[in-house]
């Protein structure tokens, strides 16, 4: 029997500003969204765009400029894929670049979520997935639990180590249903900041952190931040790190800062995931030292194959776009705090 399929390109750029991940996923529309990963791509963040986004974190007057610049880069990435692939792309789901995220003020800003993308690449685009949930009173985050449940349902938890660590929790398996999902703590947003002190984009394998010394006083201060006492739903943004983290840790030698913050990450993740079989993905999943410290606190980490580690979020944003175009829920209100499952994202047609 013929089964309809749709090839969806998912695009994801995280708060660590290390690049754009892209995945072309073929979804079986008639069979509960069974899927096949067809192709993956990585694009390095242009230095001038990274500088502009970083400056916008501190100067909101640059929002329109960042919006247009990120959309142009998104188009460039898509056009490079179009010139390479033999796969027909039917739909695009793009996250954009989170610059501001203040759900308590009903405000979130993902740069580059513009109609011009669809018109320039001549493919329908779903984007700006967070704002609807924020306006409904939710956190607008995390958005990945729907994908964790539908696509990666064989674990007790799914942990992403990106700019921030976020988790989906289920009992006993994610496919039974998501019980909770939230941001745990910053990860690469802080680690990459200190790696740049060594003229490196990131601490490969955690080797610099492993050479440093843990400052117990700073570690205690980090672990005392009030965010960790809050109950989910809850989420983090770059502005929270700038306001609450760097003033505690910034005076340390860079290697010691990396060692101390890795220990902080491990403690906070261990407090949530001890004794749980946990799928770990994202750029931080290649930080062997960090994973060693997380396992020290009793977390049963499982690192899958390379493409799933590196492209899980791009795969999930392809799914979210697919669900949106079908007018099916792609946001779990129980995990974001809006209390309502809903179909979120702006649809732009060529």
According to CATH, the topology of domain 145-306 is Nucleotidyltransferase; domain 5 (3.30.420)
For 296-310, give the secondary structure using H, E and C. Answer: HCCCEEECCCHHHHH
- The whole-angstrom separation of Cα 331 and Cα 246 is 32
Amino acid 295: pLDDT: 98
Strands (E), the chain: 5-12, 20-28, 34-43, 91-94, 97-102, 107-111, 125-127, 157-161, 164-170, 178-186, 277-281, 300-302, 346-348
Cα gap 66→54, rounded to integer Å: 10
pLDDT digits (tens, 9 = 90+) for 30-67: 666 789 999 999 999 999 999 999 999 889 999 999 99
Instruction: Report the alpha-carbon distance of residue 310 to residue 304 in Å, rounded.
Output: 10
Give the C-alpha separation, 105 to 75, whole Å. 31
Calpha distance 129→140 (Å, rounded)? 8
Which residues are paired to 100 by β-bridges? 109
Domains 5-140+312-348 and 145-306 equal at CATH topology level: yes
Q: What integer pLDDT is reported at residue 4 of this predicted model?
A: 86
Domain boundaries, the chain: 5-140+312-348, 145-306
CATH 3.40.50.720 assigned to domain 5-140+312-348? The reply is no
Partners of 108 in the beta sheet? Answer: 101
Is the bond preceding residue 292 a cis peptide, omega within 30 degrees? no
Structure tokens at 249: 């840790």
> Are residues 106 and 134 in contact, defined by beta-carbon separation less than 8 angstroms?
yes
Residue 2, pLDDT score: 42
The pLDDT tens digits along the chain (350 residues) read 345 899 999 999 988 888 999 999 999 976 667 899 999 999 999 999 999 999 998 899 999 999 999 999 999 999 999 999 999 999 999 999 999 999 999 999 999 999 999 999 999 999 999 999 999 999 998 899 889 988 888 889 999 999 999 999 986 555 557 888 999 999 999 999 999 999 999 999 999 999 999 999 999 999 999 999 999 989 998 889 999 999 999 999 999 999 999 999 999 999 999 999 999 999 999 999 999 999 999 999 999 999 999 999 999 999 999 999 999 999 999 889 999 999 999 999 99
Place of tokens 């230095």: 47
pLDDT of residue 173: 52
Give the length of the chain.
Answer: 350
CB atoms under 10 Å from CB of 19, counted, come to: 18
């Amino acid at each position: 029997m013929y089964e309809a399929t749709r090839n969806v390109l998912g695009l994801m750029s995280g708060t660590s500003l290390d690049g754009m991940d892209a995945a072309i996923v073929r979804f079986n529309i008639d069979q509960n969204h069974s899927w096949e990963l067809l192709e993956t791509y990585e694009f390095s963040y242009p230095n001038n765009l990274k500088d502009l986004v970083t400056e916008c974190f501190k100067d909101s007057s640059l929002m329109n400029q960042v919006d247009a610049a990120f959309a142009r880069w998104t188009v460039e990435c898509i056009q490079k894929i179009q010139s390479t692939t033999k796969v027909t792309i039917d739909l695009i789901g793009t996250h954009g670049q989170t610059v501001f995220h203040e759900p308590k003020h009903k405000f979130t800003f993902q740069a580059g979520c513009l109609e011009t993308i669809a018109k320039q690449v001549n493919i329908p685009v779903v984007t700006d997935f967070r704002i609807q949930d924020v306006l409904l009173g939710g956190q607008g985050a995390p958005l990945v639990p729907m994908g964790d449940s539908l696509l990666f349902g064989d674990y007790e938890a799914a942990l992403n180590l990106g700019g921030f660590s976020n988790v989906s929790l289920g009992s006993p398996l994610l496919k039974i249903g998501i019980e909770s999902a939230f941001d745990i703590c910053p990860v690469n947003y802080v680690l990459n900041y200190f790696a740049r002190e060594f003229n490196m984009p990131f601490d490969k394998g955690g080797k610099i952190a492993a050479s440093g010394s843990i400052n117990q006083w700073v570690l205690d201060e980090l672990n005392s931040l009030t965010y960790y006492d809050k109950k989910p739903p809850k989420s983090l943004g770059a502005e929270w790190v700038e306001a609450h983290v760097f003033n505690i840790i910034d005076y340390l030698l860079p290697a010691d800062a990396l060692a101390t913050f890795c220990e902080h990450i491990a403690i906070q993740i261990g407090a949530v995931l001890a004794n749980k079989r946990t799928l770990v993905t994202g750029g931080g999943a290649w930080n062997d030292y960090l994973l060693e410290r997380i396992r020290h606190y009793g977390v049963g980490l499982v690192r899958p194959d390379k493409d799933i580690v590196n492209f899980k979020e791009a795969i999930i944003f392809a799914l979210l776009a697919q669900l949106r175009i079908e007018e099916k829920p792609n946001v779990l209100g129980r995990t974001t705090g809006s209390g309502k499952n809903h179909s979120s994202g702006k649809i732009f047609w060529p």
